[in-house]
Amino acid sequence: MLRDRLVGAWRALLDAAYPRDCVFCGEPAGPEGYVCARCLARLPLARNPACERCGAESPVPGSHGFLCPDCLRHPPAFARAHVVARYAGPVRDLIHLFKYHRGLWLRDDLGDLLAAHYLACVAPLGVAFDAIVPVPMLRAKERRRGYNQALLLAEALAARVGLPCRARYLRRVDTGVVSQTRLRRAERLRNAEAAYRAAHPRHLAGKTILLVDDVITTGATCDACARLLRRAGARAVHVLALARPLME
Ligand SMILES: [Zn+2]
Ligand SMILES: [Zn+2]
């Protein structure tokens, strides 16, 4: 489209006039994003063994995957959660900028991170995904913030890996419940399930879904969303998140 070409030309001009500086070290970051290659290589990606089901990363380095006690006791409704990075240090800073400080200019960098992880770790599993679905946000909250960061990430990933993004497959409803982390697991899951609705089964029947979120905290949200999607007919749900804190 002409508009895209104009925007592209304008951006190239801007890049030449004002080279982008890396958000971490201030050195020129190159034309593609706002994190330079050196800082990108230093991000705390999830490198320790992780739970093969929920993606929680062990604080202890080693070479083998495992199942965490939570997943052994209560297997989640999703087949697997894939986590790109450890929610710490510079990754946490990036996500905070993106999420709470209108750092929309980071969308391409974060989209690249997600897509790289997808291609390296998810695609080789050979799962044929029908759609990418972002974890939805309350409409009032989304209006206040101006965007849903999970939706932006899902769209960025979808564009990079050639899958459709279907935000309407899940909806967030207001239950008035705010804080989740202090509750017991069963209550957390019940609250989380009440806070979302899946699309009509005719949209979901037999579909394999990749659910995308920015950060997995307790896992209850993804578990609940996956449960609702499957109850509505989805065949399987995988999760891909940018980050998750180290397992305690
Ligand atoms: Zn840098
Ligand atoms: Zn687990």
Same domain, 145 and 25: no
Alpha helices by DSSP H, 101-236: 107-117, 139-145, 149-161, 185-194, 201-204, 220-231
Same domain? For 34 and 71 the reply is no
Ligand 2 centre to CA of 140 (Å) is 32
The verdict on 68 and 168 lying in the same domain is yes
Q: Taking residues 101-109, report their average pLDDT.
A: 89
Q: Is the pTM of this model over 0.75?
A: yes
Domain at 221, CATH number: 3.40.50.2020
Give 86 Cα–ligand 1 centroid separation in angstroms: 18
Instruction: Let me know how many helices (H) and strands (E) the chain has, helices first.
Output: 10, 6
Which-ligand-closest: CA of 25?
Answer: 1
Find the 28 Cα to ligand 1 centroid distance in Å: 8
| Burial of residue 182, with CB atoms counted within 10 A of its CB: 0-12 exposed, 13-18 middle, 19 or more buried | exposed
Q: Provide the sign of the torsion angle of the four alpha carbons 140, 143, 145, 149, taken in this order.
A: positive
Report CA(110)–ligand 1 centroid distance (Å): 15
Domain count, the chain: 2
Does residue 70 come out as left (phi exceeding 0), alpha (psi in the -120 to 50 range) or beta? alpha
Neighbours of 163 (CB within 10 A): 17
Q: Are 87 and 111 within one domain?
A: yes
Q: What mean pLDDT do residues 34-54 have?
A: 87
Query: What range defines the domain where residue 143 resides?
Result: 43-244
Task: Kindly report, residue by residue over 53-87, the tens digit of the pLDDT.
Answer: 999 999 888 877 789 999 999 999 999 999 999 99
User: Domain check: are 47 and 13 in the same one?
Assistant: no
pLDDT of residue 215: 97
Compute, in angstroms, the gap from residue 29 CA to the centroid of ligand 1: 7
Q: Residue 226 C-alpha to ligand 2 middle, in angstroms?
A: 15
User: Above 60 in pLDDT, residue 17?
Assistant: no
- Judgement on whether residues 140 and 58 belong to the same structural domain of the protein: yes
Ligand nearest to C-alpha 33: 1
Which ligand is nearest the CA of 39, by number?
1
Per residue in 142-172, pLDDT (tens digit) is 999 999 999 999 999 999 999 999 999 999 9
pLDDT at 234: 98
